[in-house]
Amino acid sequence: MSYRKSSRLRRTSTLALAVSALLAFPTLPLQADETCMSPYMAKITGQEDFVYIWTLGVEGLGDGQDKLVTVDVNPKSDNYGKIINSLSVGGRNEAHHSGLTDDRKYLWAGGLDTNKIFIFDVHTDPAKPTLKNTIEDFTSATGGLVGPHTTYALPGRMMVTALSNNKDNGGRTGMAEYTNDGKYLATHWNPREGSLGSAVKTGEHADGYGYDLRALPRRNVMFTSSFTGWSNYMMDFGKMLGDGEAMKRFGNTMVRWDLHSRKPREIMDVPGAPLEIRCAWQPRNNWCVTTTALTSKIWLVHENTEGKWKAEPVADVGDPSKIPLPVDISLSADDQGLWVNTFMDGKTRYFDMSDPFNPKQTYEKKIGAQVNMASSSWDGKRVYYTSSLLANWDKKGDDNEQYFKAYNWDGKELVEQFSIDFTAEKLGRAHQMRFGAYSLYANASPVKKPATQLTQLLKK
């Protein structure tokens, strides 16, 4: 049966579920600004004011510390394209990913090496975040998780995936559940050989590795992907590539979880280290996508008419034989386009996703000598890029470009608006980006704005 036909068959029931959810939670925001964020968050539908950049410190450069850097990105601002705040957190923690709570009051940012999680207040003054709290007992509290990675918002909760464990520093790992203010609640270990729990192994692999997390609430599912452990991600990239045993220590699975119970249901083979997961926004689309770093493919995880989930490769990214190393991806809010960054050649590629079973590349552009993260605005008009992958994996010499770049996108061409050289500014290695806006908070804007349903909710 064709995808379009099966979509029509499921439309009525899917829309009914969506309407039911809206009736049950009338004040629940169901979309996000950067199109990779949690569906439980409020969204910035217009122009974002700020981009918060989680940045790795570099020894001998500036203060050498990891920091949260705030850039003004509103073209109407006098500070457009300028750094307006930099908040150092002390030491170098292998700063990596960050995520906002469902109420958008706090930004959680993790360190893959020290296992610290920094919680920033971004609502009191969105232009000048402050450090509210630091979680320093992540490994002991969770029973051995190492490498806090994705910090993902659920209602009143933060799910934190990990990359490793403290027994062998390998890829076996899980995820931890916290309250928004940082209280530990539970650990959910990934299913693996010999310890499948409630999960069913559908292919050859059950490695227990972890990386990213995304949810499709209307289908009551979460998906996690897999990468590698501390012993690999803290190793020099060139040395690792030449180590045959190290190259065997990469994940080859995605896991489907029951969203409500947090129980794993099935393990699917996705060979080649599936990284970022992005799930469709439109209620007719019951699918998510990922890319595999080592095999350079786009994979589609989709639900068929019988309610069964399947993972299958649907497109190549560049020339897989050259290992361009797909890293971050960004799915448009209408599910029609997918940005895919490839670290090794420094390019971003745009794929037409109108038929998710047959993505077609329609555009590419070289962003720099290396490129990692991409964040696109909800309206699809702006895309932002940063450069750093991991401290020991970034390129050497002149190719070690560290930047934040802003582009406008008209559907045909990316046009650079400004670029900030993070090395020249003595800031470090620019990694994860998240958006901020005055309009989200009733009392934060220098210009008084009429109260909205969202601002009234945030006052409570």
Query: Does residue 220 surpass a pLDDT of 80?
Result: yes
Question: What average pLDDT does the segment 209-236 reach?
Answer: 97
Measured torsion, CA atoms of residues 106, 117, 264, 280, in degrees rounded to the nearest 10: 40
Task: Output the pLDDT for position 439.
Answer: 87
pLDDT over threshold 50, residue 57: yes
Instruction: Write the single-letter amino acid at 308.
Output: K
DSSP 8-state symbol, 403: E
Compute CA distances 160 → 146, 264, 306, 342, 390, whole Å.
11, 16, 31, 25, 19
> What pLDDT does 46 receive?
87
Does 25 have pLDDT greater than 50? no
Beta pairing class for 95-100 and 83-88: unpaired
Predicted local confidence at residue 45, as pLDDT: 83
| 326: Cα separation from own chain's centroid | 14
Mean pLDDT over 84-111 rounds to: 97
Closest-CA residue to 365 (of 413, 303, 301, 300): 413
Residue 7 has pLDDT above 50, yes or no: no
Residue type, 311: A
Predicted confidence at residue 289, as pLDDT, reads 98
Express each pLDDT in 241-299 by its tens digit. Answer: 999 999 999 999 999 999 999 999 999 999 999 999 999 999 999 999 999 999 999 99
DSSP labels for 279-299? Answer: E--STT--EEEEEETTTTEEE
Triad 34, 55, 95: Cα angle to 5°: 95
| Residue-level pLDDT at 88 | 98
Domain boundaries in the chain?
3-325
Structure letter (DSSP) for residue 399: G
Compute the Cα dihedral for 411, 416, 417, 423 and give only its sign.
positive
- Per-residue pLDDT, averaged over 80-105, amounts to 97
Q: Output the furthest CA–CA distance in the chain (Å, rounded).
A: 61
* Range 402-423 average pLDDT: 98
- Judge whether residue 326 has pLDDT over 70: yes
pLDDT in tens, 143-175: 999 999 999 999 999 999 999 999 999 999 999
Rounded to whole angstroms, how far apart are CA atoms 178 and 108?
A: 11
Shortest CA distance to 81 belongs to which of 408, 440, 444?
Answer: 408
Does 12 have pLDDT greater than 60? no
Residue 120's closest CA among 138, 135, 103, 105?
105
pLDDT at 115: 98
Cα torsion for 142, 144, 148, 154, to the nearest 10°?
A: -30
The pLDDT value recorded for residue 17 is 38
- Average pLDDT of the chain is 90
Q: Give 330-339 pLDDT, tens digit per residue.
A: 999 999 999 9
Under 8 Å between Cβ of 290 and 311: no
* pLDDT number for residue 119: 98
Looking at residue 69, the DSSP 8-state letter turns out to be E
Collapsed DSSP state (helix, strand, coil) of residue 138: helix
CATH top class, domain 3-325: mainly beta
Mean pLDDT for the stretch of residues 98-105: 96
At residue 29 the predicted structure's pLDDT band, cuts being 50, 70 and 90, is very low
Q: What is the pTM of this model?
A: 0.90
What is the Cα Rg of the chain in Å?
Answer: 21
Read out DSSP for 180-222? TTS-EEEEEEPPBTTB-TT-EE-SS--B-----EEEEGGGTEE
Q: How confident is the model at residue 443 (pLDDT cuts 50, 70, 90)?
A: low
Residues 340 and 338: their CA atoms lie apart, in Å, by: 6
Write the DSSP symbol of residue 224: E
For position 445, what pLDDT does the model report?
54
Paired residues of 376 in beta bridges: 383
Measuring CA to CA, which residue among 50, 175, 42 is closest to residue 105? 42
Q: Are 289 and 275 in contact (CB under 8 A)?
A: no
What are 81-84's contacts with CB under 8 Å, separation 24+?
A: 81/406, 81/417, 81/418, 81/420, 83/420, 83/425, 83/427, 84/50, 84/127, 84/128
10-14, 120-124, 179-183: least confident range: 10-14
Q: State how far the Cα of 230 lies from the Cα of 271, in Å rounded to an integer.
A: 20
pLDDT greater than 80 at residue 44 = yes
Q: Which of 172-181, 304-313, 398-407, 439-448 has the lowest mean pLDDT?
A: 439-448
DSSP state of 439: G
Other C-beta atoms within 10 Å of 235: how many? Answer: 17
Helix, strand, coil percentages, rounded to 5, for the chain: 15, 40, 50
Q: How far apart are CA 209 and CA 250, in angstroms?
A: 8
Percent of the chain with pLDDT over 90: 85
| Residues 9-24, mean pLDDT to the nearest whole number | 38
Length of the chain, in residues: 460
| Alpha-helical runs (H) found in 88-205 | 138-142
- 219: number of Cβ within 10 Å: 17
Provide the β-strand partners of residue 52.
70, 434
Say which amino acid occupies 13: S
Q: Is the pLDDT of residue 230 over 90?
A: yes
Structure tokens at 232: 């690999």
